[in-house]
Amino acid sequence: MTERIRIPGRRLLHSPGPTPLPDAVLHAMSVQPMDLGDARVDANIAACEHGLRRLLGTREADVFFYASNGHGVWEAVVENLAAPGQALLVPGTGHFSESWAVQAEALGRRVVRTPWREGWPIDASAVAQVLRDDRAHNIQALLAVHTDTASGVTSDLAALRRALADSGHPALLVADVVASLAAAPFGMDALGVDVAVAASQKGLMCPPGLGMLAVNARALDAARRNPAPRFYWDWVRRRDELSYRKFCGTPPQNLMFGLQAALHLIEQEGLDAVHARHRLLAGLVQAAVEGWREGGALDFFARDAASRSVSVTTIAVQGVDVAALRTLARERFQVAVAGGLGPLAGRAFRIGHLGDSNPALILGAIAGVEAALRALRVPVGQGGIQRAVQRLALLQD
């Protein structure tokens, strides 16, 4: 029997969030906090506001930061755009759209859903029908998850804007780009998005803990008219020049310094290059899955190849103990991947290819996962790592 050796060294993190952090971000956060009168605090906030506007593709939108995760900024959207009893439309994308819908209902709002077909993006035709049927215009906003991190599916935001325009419905378009920002193209103003929702722990290459929103004038006007009681989440209250009021209290300074460093790295690399890198990394994982699926136990969860996310690949399984697979990959081969969420728990695992990653790291993740699969006697055909390497070599010709 071969002796099992505990392998030292850095554990590769390939969940879709949190993601690997660049050294520059870690170093930027390793400073002593400052008193709020220090000019560096306001300079940091301004740099993050301007950098986030550039990244989101908006010139005029107000940017708000929260000491929260993505669920916190989801709540900010609900509290600012709809009063209790009013309606919000949440198109089905899987686990995360349903989570947002349940959260809105817990806050006393009425939610209209469209059906979700497993493995497929948002059905824009179903959204259009709901909007046409809402002749009284009771729906205040359409809350769309751009990339559902659980399913690994990216939906077409432009199709949702067309549905709103064609129906003549005045509802606001809110896009959750938590999992797609700084990985896939997104232009807030060009797409006609009224509110963009983001968080720090994915493509922005920062630790969890910062939620952020960009809010255009139309959405801010809706918030002003909304009589719902709110304080911490209130955009109108936070729209202030004083840092203390921008954050409704003390800013999370070290996280903000990390974000400033991350935005600078993205700008240095160039946004087109960042997007190209994520397409490359996603392609390597997809090449591996093409190999693994030959064994019959694994397959892509996303049925439409065009909708497969550049942020995370969700791999459906049959007869595979996902918990054992993840434990083996993490503890023996130093590769941490994510399991299935919600209705996909036990039915899928996920490989993230976000943030501070390059081909060598992704190939290491693929090899670690394949080693775990083979150790568990999961059939993987001729394997996936060879296909990924071949794809990378061909791309470099």
Q: What is the pTM of this model?
A: 0.96
Q: Which of 66, 62, 97, 103 is nearest to 82 (CA)?
A: 103
| Per-residue model confidence as pLDDT tens digits over 342-366 | 999 999 999 999 989 999 999 999 9
DSSP letter string, 133-178: H-TT--EEEEEEESEETTTTEE--HHHHHHHHHHHT--PEEEEE-T
How much is the CA Rg of the chain, to the nearest whole Å? 22
* Cα dihedral across residues 236, 237, 241, 247: positive or negative: negative
Distance (Å, rounded) from C-alpha 182 to C-alpha 334?
Answer: 26
Is 229's pLDDT higher than 60? yes
Structure confidence at residue 76 (pLDDT): 98
Distance (Å, rounded) from C-alpha 176 to C-alpha 146?
Answer: 6
How sure is the predictor about 209, in pLDDT bands with cuts at 50, 70 and 90? Answer: very high
| Per-residue model confidence as pLDDT tens digits over 383-395 | 999 999 999 999 8
Each residue of 276-290: b (16+ CB within 10 Å) or e?
Answer: ebbebbbbbbbbbbb
The token pair at 152 is 């690994």
Distance (Å, rounded) from C-alpha 196 to C-alpha 188?
Answer: 7
Average pLDDT over residues 322-341: 97
Q: Is 120 exposed, middle or buried (0-12, 13-18, 19+ CB in 10 A)?
A: middle
What does the angle CA 67 – CA 72 – CA 76 come to, to the nearest 5 degrees? Answer: 105
Is 187's pLDDT higher than 70? yes
Distance (Å, rounded) from C-alpha 187 to C-alpha 121?
Answer: 19
The token pair at 206 is 């920062």
Q: What residue spans in the chain does CATH classification 3.40.640.10 cover?
A: 23-267
Structure confidence at residue 1 (pLDDT): 39
Q: Look over the chain and give the mean of its residue pLDDT values, rounded to a whole number.
A: 96
User: Tokens 């139309």 appear where?
Assistant: 218
Q: What are phi and psi of 111, to 5 degrees?
A: -115, 130
Q: What residue spans in the chain does CATH classification 3.90.1150.10 cover?
A: 270-395
Tallying the residues shown for the chain, one arrives at 397
What does the angle CA 206 – CA 93 – CA 278 come to, to the nearest 5 degrees? Answer: 40
Structure confidence at residue 290 (pLDDT): 97
Is 310's pLDDT higher than 70? yes
Q: What is the dihedral of CA 119, 123, 127, 129, to 10 degrees?
A: -130
**Cβ neighbours, 10 Å, residue 197:** 26
Structure confidence at residue 98 (pLDDT): 98
Is 126's pLDDT higher than 50? yes
Average pLDDT over residues 176-194: 98
Distance (Å, rounded) from C-alpha 108 to C-alpha 303?
Answer: 35
| Class (C level, CATH) for 23-267 | alpha beta
Q: Which long-range contacts (CB under 8 A, 24 or more apart) does 104-112 make?
A: 104/78, 104/143, 107/75, 107/78, 107/79, 108/84, 109/78, 109/82, 109/84, 109/85, 110/85, 110/86, 111/87, 112/87, 112/88, 112/139
Structure confidence at residue 8 (pLDDT): 73
Preceding peptide of 18 cis, ω within 30°: yes
Cβ neighbors of 194 (< 8 A, separation 6 or more) are 141, 172, 173, 174, 215, 216, 218, 219
Is 6's pLDDT higher than 70? no
Average pLDDT over residues 266-293: 98
Average pLDDT over residues 295-306: 97
Each residue of 298-309: b (16+ CB within 10 Å) or e?
Answer: bbbbbeeeebbb
Is 294's pLDDT higher than 80? yes
- CATH superfamily assigned to domain 270-395: Aspartate Aminotransferase, domain 1 (3.90.1150.10)
Structure confidence at residue 2 (pLDDT): 47
Is 3's pLDDT higher than 70? no
| Per-residue model confidence as pLDDT tens digits over 51-100 | 999 999 999 999 999 999 999 999 999 999 999 999 999 999 999 999 99
Pairing verdict, β 110-113 and 87-90: parallel
How sure is the predictor about 17, in pLDDT bands with cuts at 50, 70 and 90? Answer: very high
Q: Which of 119, 160, 158 is nearest to 306 (CA)?
A: 119
**Any idea what DSSP says for residue 56?**
H
How sure is the predictor about 10, in pLDDT bands with cuts at 50, 70 and 90? Answer: confident
**Cβ neighbours, 10 Å, residue 5:** 7
How sure is the predictor about 323, in pLDDT bands with cuts at 50, 70 and 90? Answer: very high
Distance (Å, rounded) from C-alpha 308 to C-alpha 257?
Answer: 32
